[in-house]
Amino acid sequence: MSDLRQTTLPDRGYATASSEVARNRVMRNTYWLLALSLVPTVLGALVGLNTGINRVMGASPGTSAIIFLVGAFGLMYLIERNKNSSLGVALLLAFTFFMGIMLSRLLGHVMGLANGSQLIMMAFGGTAAVFGTMATVATTTKRDFSNMQKFLLIGVVILIVASIANIFLQLPALMLTISVMAIAIFSALLLVDLQRVINGGETNYVSATLAIYLDVYNIFANLLMLLGIFGGNRE
């Protein structure tokens, strides 16, 4: 029996070391791909601003919402289908470019304010602060937040339905409520997604990057919207 224990202990140590290496690889690749995904997002936003696509979207919010939903969910489906190949990475970068174009409508509105550039930097700084806080909590806490995911995803569905409804209702109070709730929900989702990667629950860095990117994107967009409403100065 002692011989058996002696032969199995090294195997356990090797398995633990291998899983640790795999987890670190997923985490490292996720952070690198997340940083890289910001480049197509910026390029997409620039294309939207410089070609006038943002003004077209502003003139037809209903059509823009349909294009956004079809394009976003279609690309996310394709990314998940091809997440184990290099095509998945290419599709993810195409998705972030598309999201940048969609973001150009909000950016164009904010940049039309006298302090628009400052508000964008504030939103970027606030998003970075939320990311840093959630990454720290996910790394240091022993609490498992995965049980929150189901309720948070229900909240996301409610946000989508409310956002579509408000295209027709045009209620300022509802818009503010949606933005505040979106920041809270996607901040919590960011914590869940980061913890899943850090703890080894997510083994594919493309899927991990997609989830974290969506969290960061929605936090930034809704924070920028609130800053534009409450902190914007008209020229």
Lowest pLDDT segment from 1-10, 80-89, 165-174? 1-10
Contact 54, 108 (CB under 8 A): yes
Instruction: Report the sign of the C-alpha dihedral through residues 162, 163, 164, 168, in that order.
Output: positive
Which pLDDT belongs to residue 101?
96
pTM, whole model, 2 decimals? 0.89
Tens of pLDDT, residues 23-66: 888 889 999 999 999 999 999 999 999 998 988 888 888 888 89
Distance CA 227, CA 17 (A): 46
